[in-house]
Structure 1
Amino acid sequence: MSSKIYFNTRRFSPSKWLLGIGTRLHHGLAPRHARRTASRLLLTPQRNQRDQAAPEGLVRQAVHTGEGQLMSYRLGQGPVWLLMHGWSGSASQLFPLMEQVAAQGFTAIAYDHPAHGNSEGSTGHLPRFVRALDELIERVGPIHGVMAHSMGGAVALSSRHPGLEHCPLLLVAPVIDYVPQLYAMVARSGYSMRLFDAVVKEIEQEYQHPLSEVDPLAALARRSGPTLIVHDEADRFAPHKDSLRASQDGRTRLISTQGLGHGRILASPALFAAFAQLSQSAS
């Protein structure tokens, strides 16, 4: 259900009105049960089942965190670049880029977010991903650079881990305007916004991470390390215009592509060249 909401770009669906009526009624009659049901429906990502061939020499390792065991994938030798996928994605999408990172003399470490890929968990949300990221950084040691795709960009920019303050950051098709876009997608589905707000408040209280503090654009402006964005102009899920706005701060650079969309960009020569450019300039 959640992927149908978050990746649905249609403005109207015949079931939208019925979904709104049903969820509002459920919330009014049984609020606690409605919140539990909404959490399962809205916060359950689709597990990525794509069979992506693993690079030769790839090392898999489960990393224990407070958010459950995360499956990590390591390739290469040298300073560590940490790679993050987006919502309903998996680290296997990053295997082609991991090969490029390793070929440049670095160690590429990717991992599956909680409730994604081969990691533990059944539900996911940004505060959970941020906490898991911060713990993972403590386990894998100093980070030389970070690459993040889609929602992974909002996760990286929401972390306050000191190890990320100065390192180079490569954002691929990032969700810059995260909170407004999240609410717009749920509203477009027809789901009860009052019920969604109740779910959000429970998460905020548990993690002490208010959504009002989630502002990737402001976080970009505060960064001291170099940031490079690679984004396709026709991306249907993460608006290119937001990356264009981010690049106007004078410090964030943008490489715009065409014809690659939101997913194919991860295995594109344009991204590989951007990584080589950023990693060499930051060395």
Structure 2
Amino acid sequence: MLLRPFGKRVKHFERVTPHSHWSFNTRQGLVKVHLFGDSGPWVVTSHGWADNSRCFETMIPSLLEQGFRVAAIDHVAHGKSGGKHAHLLAFIEAKEALLAHFKQQEQKVAAIIGHSMGGLAALNLKAEYLQGLKVILIAMPIRMFDLMFVQVERMGISRKMLTLVLERISAQYQTSWQQLQYQHHLHKCADRLFLIHDTDDKFAPIEHIRAVSEQQGTPLYLTQNLGHNKLLRDTGVIRQISSILVGT
């Protein structure tokens, strides 16, 4: 139950059409990536839990107009990808496989845009994949594990049960879930990290992300009354991302 996302399983793009797709296998199943644009450096988008790549549909045309290509991942067990179970490490594995593919093909990647858990996954990528990239994290639950423990207790599940699940999964990937927490990864992209967050986000409390922004001196762009998901479609947010990407 804890590893199965119950959300928008299969959705089709309506406003913009991918010119091609790329699929590859991961430990949890087949991952599908939707590719947009014919030329220019890549921008990789990564959705959150129980969502899919279509959440970036309003933003993609703006990225294409700026001369970028877009690689929009459907994470395993989400969208049009295969598999039934997912977790943070599966998100990380998919993004690293995609970035390794671009590196092997000698194709430039300019930025990663991650929403919600997709943002924390971006922060967890190996330093070699983040080198030189702008990392834009939208509505990221920066203290995701703390929030998970609170949520499972509300559901009547013990902290011990969640801890056992986290330890079992992280052992499969030869790591520890504690090492996935944000404080271990900020240094990898400190001067290229940008945060976008809504003050009324009920899933990722603003005080968590604001504290990190103040401590690290990381730029933080705030919205109001958009919550956790609507800011992805906000014209102001899209303009801010365009500004970040072109360096103005």
Answer whether TM exceeds 0.5 for this pair: yes
2:220: which partner in 1?
254
Change (3 A) 1:196 1:49: closer
Q: Kindly indicate whether the alpha-carbon contact (under 8 Å) linking 1:82 and 1:110 is maintained by their aligned counterparts in 2.
A: yes
Q: CA offsets per residue over residues 100-122 of structure 1, 9 Å max, x none?
A: 11111101111111111111111
Give SS of 1:108's match.
strand
Once structures 1 and 2 are overlaid, which stretch shifts more, 182-191 or 82-91? Answer: 182-191
**Normalising by the residue count of structure 2, what TM-score does the alignment of the two structures yield?**
0.90
Greater fraction of residues in helix: 1
Q: Is the 8 A contact 1:157 1:220 kept in 2?
A: yes
TM-aligned CA deviation for residue 251 of structure 1: 3.7
In the TM superposition, residue 279 of structure 1 has moved relative to its aligned partner by 0.5
Partner of 1:204: 170
The one-letter amino acid of 2:14's match is A
Q: Compared with structure 1, are the counterparts of its residues 257 and 96 closer, same or farther at alpha carbon in structure 2 (3 Å cutoff)?
A: same
Task: Answer yes or no: is 1:97 the counterpart of 2:59.
Answer: yes
Q: What residue identity is the alignment partner of 1:128? A: A
**Contact 2:30–2:81 (Cα < 8 Å) also in 1:** yes
**Counterpart-to-counterpart distance in 2, 1:95 and 1:241:** 28
Note closer, same or farther for the CA distance 1:156–1:119 as it changes in structure 2 (3 Å cut): same
Q: CA RMSD in A?
A: 1.9
AA matched with 1:122: K
Aligned residues: 242
* CA gap 1:165/1:189 in 2 versus in 1, 3 angstroms: farther
1:73 to 34, 37, 61: 34
Q: CA contact under 8 A between 1:134 and 1:161: conserved in structure 2?
A: no
CA contact (8 A) 2:46 2:72 kept: yes
Identity of counterpart residues, as a percentage? 25
Task: Give the deviation of 1:222 after TM superposition.
Answer: 4.2
Question: Alignment partner for residue 91 of structure 2, among 129, 134, 150?
Answer: 129
Q: 1:168 to 1:127 in 2, by over 3 A?
A: same
What does the per-residue CA deviation read over 1:131-185, in whole Å, with 9 as the maximum and x for residues that have no partner?
1211111123442101000011110111115121331111111111122122221
Unaligned 5+ runs, structure 2? none
Please list the CA deviations of residues 34-53 of structure 1 after superposition, one character each: whole Å capped at 9, or x if unmatched: xxxxxxx1100024158564
* Worse overlay, 59-68 or 115-124: 59-68
Contact 1:236 1:262 in 2 (8 A): yes
| SS of equivalent residue, structure 2 residue 146 | helix
User: Cα 1:204–1:250, aligned 2, differ >3 Å: closer, same or farther?
Assistant: closer
Trace 1:93-242 onto structure 2 (pairs within 5 A). 93-141=55-103, 142-242=108-208
Deviations 1:22-79 (A, max 9, x none): xxxxxxxxxxxxxxxxxxx110002415856434442341421333321111112311
The match for 2:44 among 56, 76, 82 is 82
Report what 1:17 is aligned to.
none
C-alpha contact 2:202 2:228 (8 A) present in aligned 1: yes
In the alignment, residue 202 of structure 1 is paired with which amino acid? Answer: R
Cα distance in 2 for partners of 1:81, 1:53 equals 18
Letter in structure 2 aligned against 1:232: D
- Which one-letter code corresponds to 2:161 in the other structure? L
CA apart distance, 1:186: 1.3
TM-score, normalised relative to structure 1: 0.80
The 5 A counterparts of 1:19-98 are: 41-49=1-9, 53-67=13-27, 68-76=29-37, 77-98=39-60
The letter for the 1-side match of 2:182 is: P
Q: Is the 8 A contact 1:147 1:170 kept in 2?
A: yes
